[in-house]
Structure 1
């Protein structure tokens, strides 16, 4: 895993076209079969998510431009 494999919810939302609110609900455990331990964490006030977690849940869309 590299630094490019970890992103903020804003970046993940833009890359995958998923709302920030949907990601937030997922982080809080309100989505069945959502992110697994190690695929997300909070750093200060910012939620971070891995590319692996996004691809597992939402498919391989998050191409870096």
Structure 2
């Protein structure tokens, strides 16, 4: 049985796994002055002060993982 928590990560974890700046991932969650949010309501949500993002959402927006491994 697959663990659903393996499909969700924080914005900081996502940034590390995709080799992106954390602000890039957070702006994809919130949008900013020149662009709307890039994740859908089913791909990312805020829990307290932490953004939670699905692996599917990250792959749709940023493509496959780009780690330095």
Q: TM-score scaled to structure 2, two decimals?
A: 0.77
- Larger of the two Rg values belongs to structure: 2
Query: RMSD of the alignment, in Å?
Result: 2.1
CA distance in 1, matches of 2:45, 2:12: 14
Where has structure 1 moved over 4 Å in runs of 4 or more?
A: none
Q: 20-29 or 50-59, which moves further after superposition? A: 20-29
Task: Provide structure 2 residue ranges, at least 5 long, that are not aligned to the other structure.
Answer: none
Aligned to 1:27: 29
How many pairs were matched up? 63
1:39 to 21, 40, 43: 43
Task: Provide structure 1 residue ranges, at least 5 long, that are not aligned to the other structure.
Answer: none
